[in-house]
Amino acid sequence: MSGPTHRWSRQEQNNLIADAMRFDQYEERVLFDQSILSFSSGQNSAFNTIPNVIDNGLRPNTFFLQGPAGTGKTFLYKVLCNYYRSKGDIFLCVASSGIASLLLPGRSIAHSQFRIPIDCPDGTRCSINRQSPLAGLLKKTRLIIWDEVTMQLKHNFVAVDLTLRDIMQNQDDLFGGIPVVLGGDFAQILPVVRRGRRENTANACIRFWDKWSIVRPLFLTQNMRVIEGELNQRFADWLAKLSYTPSLYGPVELPDFIRVTHDREEFREFVYPIQQIRTPASSFFRERAILSSRNDEVDKFNDNLSHLIGANYHSYYSLDTTQNDQSRHVSDYTPEFLRTVSGQGLPPGKLTLHVGMPVMLLRNYYSREGLINGCRLIITRLYNHCLKSRITSADSRFDGNEHIISRINLSCDENLSFTLIRKQLPLRPCYAMTINKSQGQMLKYAGVDLITPVFSHGQ
């Protein structure tokens, strides 16, 4: 029998601290002792460095863990979590995207955890009062992990840095002296700069933050996911060189071991065999998707696959209103016109669905239950104003769980003279999805549509 989880002189009054301390130190130690035996040489080197700096109070104590997909960043984060929790310390782990956060202890999203404003110009601070429970939690935090930082605007890090300096009353050290491990891969998705050029996107990255020179770099290079076999290794090696070899810049010629077709039906059949899609196994949609760079191409694939199935459809119509339009009266916009308006992260005004269809959640709906932006679901029942759906995920904690999804208000002002408020189910069909939305997804069968050139969002 294990000993008591904690030695508390009194019950913790701060609920956030109590939640963060809800673990068994003995179990965390067992997990740590088991996991550390599986380290690669790169993981072992990084682990030896991070606790040595933190436990000895050395400076600087902010790190950047650079590693391509599959090199074991998430595994290292979990071992660090086990290590510090086994010592009774508070450990916070956040990610820049909802899907990435599901893989981490705590499953928190950076904007939510740190109260980062949506509109965050340089010099902004986060909405955290120094006397709040969240500030109390941060004061007791031993280590912060922040994954997928390469897709965040640098001004978000400025905001968190300034806020933590205020909370910790430490203006001299980065993040107020709280140890932070930043992680990501600059070969993956970079920040979105609306109507920005290549240089604008580069300048928005964390590497152009004026505090970047203080950050200690760590590197992971060994791909831990590669299944034994020459073909898998060749593909992993080609991916590793793609972003860093000048001869591969510009137009890319695909190697001969990647299957290529110019026939859309052959392409669709590879990912979604028609006989299987009509009577799919429970894991069928979880492990496959068509990826494209543009939303209009994604919509074409989704419409085509929906019609192939020939199911009984139900259409959900949005309730749309406008705000902040100084040039026209709100009544000038007809419901029919507003329903045609589309935007980033906005569900269609007319959402046509059927039982058995895979859909993607477009907003963080209930993070603790895995219902976050990018979560994929299978519709199990349709109602007049809501629906029931089942999570399809590689994460066993959530896979198969059923939830009711109801209409919510979503807003968009992108390329509009007004702000559109749309009340609709926060869903979109996802036989196909954009390449950006595939970040963090785990797929066994992927068809990448390269008919339209891949571009960076915002350009």
Q: Based on the domain organization, do 141 and 23 belong to the same domain?
A: yes
Question: Which of the residues in the chain have pLDDT under 70?
Answer: 1-12, 227-228, 247-248, 325-331, 415, 455-459
Contacts of residue 105, defined as CB under 8 A and 6 or more positions apart, other chains included, come to 77, 78, 81, 91, 93
Does 123 map to a domain? Answer: yes
- Whether residue 353 is contained in a domain is answered as yes
Count how many Cα atoms sit within 13 Å of the Cα of residue 336 in the half-sphere of its side chain. 0
Q: Which amino acid type is present at position 221?
A: T
Tens of pLDDT, residue by residue over 135-176, are: 999 999 999 999 999 999 999 999 999 999 999 999 999 999
For residue 300, give Cα distances in angstroms to 18, 23, 425, 433, 447: 48, 47, 20, 11, 14
Assess whether 377 and 301 both reside in one domain: yes
**Residues 323 and 425 placed together within one structural domain of the fold:** yes
Residues 374 and 397 in one domain: yes
What three-state secondary structure class fits 45?
Answer: helix
Closest CA to 287 of 428, 444, 420: 444
Pick from 73, 440, 66: which is nearest to 244 by CA? Answer: 66
Confirm whether 5 is domain-assigned: no
Q: Does 2 map to a domain?
A: no
Which pLDDT score is estimated for 2? 52
Q: What is the pLDDT of residue 439?
A: 74
Coil, helix or strand for 23? coil
CA–CA dist 423, 318 (Å, integer): 6
137-153-365 Cα angle (round to 5): 60
Q: Does 398 lie in the same domain as 377?
A: yes
Residues 322 and 400 in one domain: yes
DSSP 184-240: E-TTS-----TT--HHHHHHHSGGGSTTGGGSEEEE----SSPPSSHHHHHHHHHHH
Q: Are residues 145 and 23 in the same domain?
A: yes
Domain boundary among 234, 258, 282: 258
Is residue 78 situated within a structural domain? yes
CATH of the domain at 147: 3.40.50.300
Q: Is 141 helix (H, G, I), strand (E, B) or coil?
A: strand
CA distances from 81 to 39, 40, 89, 146 (A): 15, 18, 9, 13
- CA distance to 18, 269, 298, per residue, from 94 (Å): 18, 38, 29
The answer as to whether 43 is a domain residue is: yes
Q: Do residues 364 and 245 both lie within one domain? A: no
Please provide the distance, in angstroms rounded to a whole number, between the alpha carbons at the two ends of the chain: 59
d(CA 422, CA 436): 23
With respect to residue 7, please indicate whether it lies within any of the assigned structural domains.
no
Q: State the pLDDT at residue 128.
A: 96
Q: Which of 198, 219, 240 is the last residue of a domain?
A: 219
One domain for residues 55 and 103: yes
Residues 181 and 280 in one domain: no
Task: Extract the tokens encoding 295.
Answer: 């939303």
The residue range of the domain holding 235 is: 226-258
Within a 10 A sphere around the Cβ of 108, how many other Cβ atoms? Answer: 18
Q: What DSSP line would sit under 387-417, residue for residue?
A: EEEEE--S-TTTTT-EEEEE-EEEEE-TT-S
Domain tally, the chain: 3
Q: Copy the structure tokens of residue 58.
A: 């050395």
Q: State whether 271 and 245 are in the same domain.
A: no
Residue-level pLDDT at 290: 95
Statement to judge: residues 271 and 420 lie in one domain: yes
Query: Could you tell me if residue 457 is inside a domain?
Result: no
Structure tokens at 192: 């979105």
Which pLDDT belongs to residue 443?
84
Query: What local confidence, expressed as pLDDT, does residue 314 receive?
Result: 93
